Amino acid sequence: MAATLCLKLLPKQGWLPLTQSVRHGSKAVTRHRRPMHILKQKLLAVTRYIPPKHVIPPGAYPTQTKQVQEDSPLKLLMTRNLNKVFQDCKMIAVVQNNACKAEDMILLKHKLHKHGISVKFFPNQVVRPFLKDSIYSNMTPLFIGPTVMFVSKEPKVKEMLSTLRGAPQMTLIGACIENTLLSAQGLVSYSKLPSVTSVHGELVSGLTMLTSHTASLLQRHPAHLSALLQQYVKQQSSEDAPEGAPKAEEAT
C-alpha cells in the first residue's frame, strides 16, 4: 500500500502540468474620449460651486497702521541751513575727506577763510534727500562716503585749488559753479579762464577801437571833400583877381 501511494504521488516520466496557456489575440484601442461640447463646458463653468470666503469679524485682529517717522528737529535745522547755503553761495565744491587730522583740518579752514571760502559739514543722510527733490539732483552721486563742502559767495576756484595742493588728504570730486555742474578736470579748466574784469576790459577796448575806426572812416570822405573845395576856391580866387593886384598868398 505504501508503494502504491508513492507511485501515485511521484511524478511519472514525461508528466506535463495540467495548466495550459491559451493565447488570445490583442485588440487595438480604437475608441478615444470625445471632447466635451463647448456649451457643456460653459454650463459646468457657470454652475461650478465656489465656496464663500471666510469673513473675519471686525476687531478680531489688530489693525496694522504704518508708522510715519517724523524728522528730528536737528535734521530739520540742518536741512534749513543747507537750503540757505545753496541759495546764497555761487560756488559749492564737494571734497572727499580721506582721514584728515583735526590739526590739518583747522589749518585748511584758516587758509580757505583768507580767500572767503567756508568749510561746511553736512551728513549724507541730510544732503541726499535734500538734493533729490531740488534742481541740484545731479549732484547726488557726489555725496558718497565722508565728504566736505567748500562754499563761497563768489566763484574762487583758483584760490581753492591752490590751497588744496597742500592738503593731500582732501580729494576734489566736483563742484557746482553758478548752477553749472563741473568735474574736477572741469574746475581746473575753469581756473585757467581770465577774470571777468579783464574780459570786460578787452571787450571795452575792442568796442572802442571799432568805434574809433568807424568814426575815422565816416570823417574821411567829408574831410577830403572839404580840402578839395578849399583848393577849388583858392584857384577860382586867383584866376578872378587882376593882374597887377597882389595875390592873397603874397599879401599874407
Q: Which residue has the cell 567829408?
A: 222
In a domain, 240, yes or no: no
Q: What's the pLDDT at 249? A: 45
Higher-pLDDT residue of 82, 237: 82
Q: What percent of the chain has pLDDT over 70?
A: 79
| Domain around 104 | 75-191
Based on the domain organization, do 205 and 166 belong to the same domain?
Answer: no
Based on the domain organization, do 184 and 86 belong to the same domain?
Answer: yes
Q: How far apart are CA 183 and CA 73, in angstroms?
A: 34
What predicted TM-score, i.e. pTM, was given to this entire model? 0.54
Tell me what the pLDDT averaged over the chain comes to: 80
Residue 252 has pLDDT above 50, yes or no: no
- Provide the domain count of the chain: 2
Residue 245 has pLDDT above 80, yes or no: no
Q: 184-191 vs 157-164: helix axis angle to the nearest 10?
A: 120
Based on the domain organization, do 210 and 140 belong to the same domain?
Answer: no
Residue 235 has pLDDT above 80, yes or no: yes
Based on the domain organization, do 172 and 144 belong to the same domain?
Answer: yes
What CATH number is associated with residue 121?
3.30.70.1730
147: closest CA among 129, 181, 163, 170? 170
Phi, psi of 18 (to 5 degrees): -75, -25
DSSP codes of every residue in 31-53: --PPPPPHHHHHHHHHS---PPP
Q: What's the pLDDT at 117? A: 92
> Taking a C-beta distance cutoff of 8 angstroms, is the pair 108, 167 a contact?
yes
Final residue of a structural domain among 191, 211, 237? 191
Half-sphere exposure of residue 36, counting CA atoms within 13 Å on the CB side? 8
Q: What's the pLDDT at 209? A: 81
| Mean pLDDT calculated for residue range 101-124 | 91
Q: What's the pLDDT at 93? A: 93
> Taking a C-beta distance cutoff of 8 angstroms, is the pair 91, 152 a contact?
yes
What residues pair up with 182 in beta bridges, in sequence order? 175
In a domain, 18, yes or no: no
Region class of 27: left (phi > 0), else alpha (psi between -120 and 50), else beta: beta
Residue range 68-96, pLDDT digits in tens:
566 788 889 999 999 999 999 999 999 99
Residue range 160-210, pLDDT digits in tens:
999 998 888 899 999 999 888 999 899 998 888 877 777 777 788 877 887
In a domain, 115, yes or no: yes
Residue 22 has pLDDT above 70, yes or no: no
Residue range 53-62, pLDDT digits in tens:
877 777 777 6
